């Protein structure tokens, strides 16, 4: 996985993998039938985490915004905890059959996100001046872009990062304006 991440799947030759493992190319083929099988295994692992998150967000008993926020938040933590696997998944281009199947499964996740955004807008919880499909893509573009720069320490669950993503995407970067429910209300001392 380290070699795949550093060089990219295509540029990571079996020779290079073997060197890093301290064995020969042919020894690898005792454990796995092909290079592509190695890729399939890794992609499977990435999907596992992401689909678990999607399932949980979907089954949550809460308004669409809340489910969407949960989906975004937990996607970040899964991404952080399975960084090499998710990175590989996100870099797949569809050159082979294995890659195309992975892309299809990713689209299912995109679809769920788009549904939640649409519903949240209908609820009046998200601004209606942006296209729902575009919002969904911007949101997950933001999440997915983390693989390009975030380098977690061992033990990092990505919790603060997930909160930062939620804050920027939902509340924006400009200084906090009063929340709707607090607007113009006098400050009540505790």
Q: Which of residues 14-53 bind a second copy (CB under 8 A)?
A: none
Q: Which of residues 111-140 bind a second copy (CB under 8 A)?
A: 124-131, 134-135, 137-139
> Alpha-carbon distance 52 to 74, whole Å?
10
Q: Does 144 bind a second copy (CB under 8 A)?
A: yes
Q: Three-state DSSP class for 70?
A: helix
> Alpha-carbon distance 41 to 36, whole Å?
9
Of these partners, a second copy, DNA, none, which one is at the site of residue 187 (CB under 5 to 8 Å by kind)?
Answer: none
Q: Does 1 bind DNA (CB under 7 A)?
A: no
Of these partners, DNA, a second copy, none, which one is at the site of residue 179 (CB under 5 to 8 Å by kind)?
Answer: a second copy
Check: CB of residue 98 under 8 Å from CB of residue 47.
no
Among 22, 154, 155, 180, binds a second copy (CB under 8 A): 180
Q: Which is nearer to a second copy, 41 or 134 (CB)?
A: 134
Q: Does 15 bind DNA (CB under 7 A)?
A: yes
Write the DSSP symbol of residue 129.
S
The single residue listed with the structure tokens 């949101």 is 139
Q: Which is nearer to DNA, 95 or 157 (CB)?
A: 95
Q: Which is nearer to DNA, 9 or 140 (CB)?
A: 9
Q: Does 91 bind DNA (CB under 7 A)?
A: no
Q: Three-state DSSP class for 72?
A: helix
Give the DSSP letter string of 34-68.
-HHHHHHHHHHHHHHHHHHHHHHHHH--S-HHHHH
Cβ contacts of 175 within 8 Å, gap of 6 or more: none
Written as six digits, the tokens of 106 are: 């990713």
Q: Which of residues 19-48 bind DNA (CB under 7 A)?
A: 22-27, 29-31, 33-36
Of these partners, a second copy, DNA, none, which one is at the site of residue 190 (CB under 5 to 8 Å by kind)?
Answer: none
């Amino acid at each position: 996985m380290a070699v795949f991440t550093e060089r990219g799947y295509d540029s990571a030759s079996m020779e290079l993998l073997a060197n890093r493992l301290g064995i020969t190319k042919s020894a690898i083929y005792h454990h796995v039938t092909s290079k592509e099988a190695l890729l399939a295994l890794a992609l499977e692992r990435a999907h596992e985490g992401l689909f678990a998150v999607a399932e949980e967000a979907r089954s949550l008993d809460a308004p669409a915004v809340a489910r969407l926020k949960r989906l975004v938040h937990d996607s970040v933590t899964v991404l952080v905890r399975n960084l090499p696997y998710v990175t590989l998944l996100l870099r797949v281009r569809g050159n082979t059959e294995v890659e195309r199947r992975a892309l299809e499964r990713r689209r299912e996740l995109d679809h769920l996100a788009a549904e939640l955004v649409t519903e949240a807008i209908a609820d009046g919880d998200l601004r209606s001046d942006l296209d729902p499909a575009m919002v969904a893509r911007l949101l997950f573009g933001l999440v997915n872009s983390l693989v390009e720069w975030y380098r977690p320490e061992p033990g990092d669950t990505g919790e603060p990062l997930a909160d930062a993503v939620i804050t920027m995407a939902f509340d924006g970067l400009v200084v906090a304006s009063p929340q709707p429910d607090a607007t113009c209300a006098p400050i009540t001392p505790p």
